[in-house]
């Protein structure tokens, strides 16, 4: 993929895993706020969540340097996916380790780009 804006720093990370239990609205909000602290991102709003009866929970937080989205399924299995997009450098390992610990996962998979 050609970098169309080489003078603008962008970093992306996807973290996915299997939580030990269904993830609630409040857990998503708390996770996104705590992730802000872990990654040293300035939180501009409180996290927002919404539930789809068909697909489960989604959440979003706006940071001064972009933000993060969170998705949680209960069916067909307990699963989550976190999408982080920023214009400020952060540690992918730190984000993955925090996510794994927060949701008490045996492991998580993550990929930055």
Domain ranges for the chain: 19-103
pLDDT range class, residue 54, cuts 50, 70, 90 = confident
Contacts of 47 (CB under 8 A, 6+ apart): 28, 29, 32, 33, 59, 60, 61
Return mean pLDDT, the chain: 96
CB 15 within 8 A of CB 30: no
pLDDT per residue as tens digits for the range 58-91 = 999 999 999 999 999 999 999 999 999 999 999 9
Per-residue pLDDT, averaged over 14-43, amounts to: 97
Round to whole Å and give the CA distance between 113 and 93. Answer: 13
Q: Which two tokens stand for residue 96?
A: 């993955």
For residue 33, what pLDDT is reported? 98
For residue 113, what pLDDT is reported? 87
Round to whole Å and give the CA distance between 44 and 64. Answer: 6
Per-residue pLDDT, averaged over 25-30, amounts to: 98
Q: Does domain 19-103 have CATH number 3.40.50.300?
A: no
pLDDT range class, residue 108, cuts 50, 70, 90 = very high
């Amino acid at each position: 993929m050609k970098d169309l804006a080489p003078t603008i720093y962008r970093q992306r990370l996807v973290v996915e895993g299997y939580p030990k239990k269904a993830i609630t609205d409040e857990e998503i909000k708390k996770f996104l706020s705590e992730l802000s602290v872990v990654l040293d991102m300035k939180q501009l709003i409180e996290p927002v969540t919404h539930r789809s009866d068909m697909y489960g929970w989604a959440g979003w937080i706006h940071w001064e340097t972009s933000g993060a989205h969170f998705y949680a399924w209960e069916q067909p299995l307990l699963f989550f996916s976190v999408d982080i997009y920023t214009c400020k450098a952060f540690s992918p390992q730190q984000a993955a380790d925090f996510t794994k610990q927060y949701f008490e996962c045996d492991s998580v998979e993550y990929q930055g780009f």
